[in-house]
Structures are given as structure tokens and as C-alpha cells.
């Protein structure tokens, strides 16, 4: 087994949630009186914790307005927006293959909140797939490597036996800071050339390609 622990990003890596995130963030910015956010600006911050994302998208925003934007984003994402979200093709079957391997450990490291991740776990039963998870509101946001360090400690797996899989430079740079092997998936939000700057161990254009590589 090449990697005893595989850590996945969520949005843009396992779940196709880009459209919903973009639409909800744009609506929240309008509600908060910030104005219109460009879709590219929102796509750029997918993967960051919400406070860090707002600070990056809205430089100079006042704390009260930032809190209003955060609250409205949560409202739209949970209650007001019904844009469908599904796993990318091959994810469910690929995870099942990995779970069938003896001693394989799987985890999630995401910019979502704990409440948001638990909500999606409950909605589709995917929480049972993973041995551990970390969210941005219970540790440091990506690209700081603290959430990876905490997962390594919790699951007692050394960095040399661990792989990070993600679709953004934040995922890859988080792993790179620990000299952890990392896979860039190019079907998510960041362009392949941007991901290449983080020197990924492997590049996968489809989730199935990643799974095949892991079984070599």
C-alpha cells in the first residue's frame, strides 16, 4: 500500500459544489451591502475558511459588515439556495474501493465549518467513509498545515505514509509545507497551471484516474 492515510479536500475534490458556493456568496455580498462579487473572485477562495475567504474577497471590509456577509452566506447555503450538489463522477465507487483495502485510513480536511460538514455527512451518509476530519473553524484555515498535523496525530500515521488530495493551491501548499505527497485534481476550481506551481506528486483529470494510480 503506497499510502496508509489519504486525506481529501471536500468542495471541488469530492463534491461538485462550486455553483452553489458562488451563487450563495454573491447573494450574501448583495445582502450585506458590499455589492456584486465576480464569480472568479468567489471561485478563487473556495477551500479557505469563511473569515479568511471574506477578507480576501472584500479587502477593507468592516467587521460588522463581514459578520453580516458571513451570516447571509450561511443562510443562503443552508436554507435559501437549492442548487443541486452531487459527488463528482467516480467518487462513490472510488471511495468504496479504497475502503475495501485492509489498513487503509481516509480523512477529510476542508474549509467548511464543522456544522456544514456534519450537515452534508448526514445528508448523504458519507460520514461513515472517513476515520477523521478537520474543518476550518476548529483549527487553522488552509494553507496553514495545522489541520493536517492534527489528523496525522489523531490517526497515528507518519507524514511519509500520507497523501493529500485537493483541487486548489491551498490544499497543495498545506501539504507541501509538511513535505507530504499531494495529488492535484484538475476538475475543480483552480486551473492546472496554478496547481502545477505547488509541484504535485501526481495530477488527475478524473477521480477514477486517481483511484487507478493509487492501486498500482
Tens-digit pLDDT profile for residues 17-28: 999 999 999 999
pTM: 0.93
pLDDT grade for 82, boundaries at 50, 70 and 90: low
Tell me which residue has cell 453580516: 68
Give the architecture (CATH level 2) of 5-16+87-214: 3-Layer(aba) Sandwich (3.40)
The dihedral over CA atoms of 158, 159, 163, 165, expressed in degrees to the nearest 10, equals: 130
pLDDT grade for 212, boundaries at 50, 70 and 90: very high
Looking at the chain, the domain(s) classified CATH 3.40.50.1000 span 5-16+87-214
45, pLDDT greater than 90:
yes
What local confidence, expressed as pLDDT, does residue 134 receive?
98
Looking at the chain, the domain(s) classified CATH 1.10.150.240 span 18-80
What local confidence, expressed as pLDDT, does residue 80 receive?
60
For 145-186, how does the pLDDT look when each residue is reduced to its tens digit (9 = 90+)? 999 999 999 999 999 999 999 999 999 999 999 999 999 999
Residue 135 CA to residue 142 CA, distance in Å, equals 10
Give the architecture (CATH level 2) of 18-80: Orthogonal Bundle (1.10)
Q: Higher model confidence: residue 82 or residue 67?
A: 67
Beta-strand pair 15-16/202-204? unpaired
What local confidence, expressed as pLDDT, does residue 81 receive?
54
Residue 17 CA to residue 168 CA, distance in Å, equals 14
Q: Are the beta carbons of 168 and 186 closer than 8 angstroms?
A: no
What local confidence, expressed as pLDDT, does residue 1 receive?
75
What local confidence, expressed as pLDDT, does residue 2 receive?
84
3-state helix, strand, coil in the chain (%, to 5): 50, 15, 35
What local confidence, expressed as pLDDT, does residue 77 receive?
87
The C-alpha cell at 88 is 463528482
Amino acid at each position: 500500500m503506497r499510502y496508509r492515510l489519504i486525506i481529501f479536500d471536500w468542495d471541488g475534490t469530492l463534491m461538485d459544489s462550486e455553483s452553489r458556493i458562488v451563487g450563495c456568496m454573491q447573494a450574501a455580498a448583495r445582502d450585506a451591502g458590499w455589492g456584486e462579487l465576480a464569480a472568479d473572485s468567489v471561485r478563487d477562495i473556495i477551500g479557505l475558511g469563511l473569515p479568511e475567504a471574506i477578507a480576501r474577497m472584500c479587502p477593507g471590509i468592516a467587521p460588522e459588515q463581514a459578520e453580516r456577509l458571513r451570516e447571509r452566506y450561511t443562510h443562503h447555503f443552508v436554507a435559501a439556495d437549492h442548487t443541486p450538489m452531487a459527488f463528482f463522477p467516480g467518487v462513490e465507487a472510488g471511495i468504496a474501493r479504497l475502503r475495501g483495502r485492509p489498513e487503509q485510513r481516509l480523512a477529510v480536511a476542508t474549509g467548511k465549518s464543522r456544522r456544514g460538514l456534519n450537515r452534508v455527512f448526514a445528508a448523504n451518509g458519507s460520514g461513515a467513509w472517513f476515520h477523521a476530519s478537520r474543518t476550518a473553524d476548529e483549527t487553522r484555515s488552509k494553507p496553514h498545515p495545522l489541520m493536517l498535523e492534527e489528523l496525522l496525530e489523531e490517526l497515528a500515521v507518519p507524514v511519509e505514509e500520507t497523501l493529500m488530495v485537493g483541487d486548489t493551491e491551498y490544499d497543495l501548499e498545506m501539504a507541501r509545507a509538511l513535505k507530504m505527497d499531494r495529488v492535484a485534481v484538475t476538475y475543480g476550481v483552480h486551473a492546472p497551471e496554478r496547481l502545477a506551481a505547488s509541484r504535485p506528486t501526481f495530477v488527475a483529470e478524473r477521480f477514477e484516474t486517481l483511484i487507478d494510480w493509487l492501486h498500482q
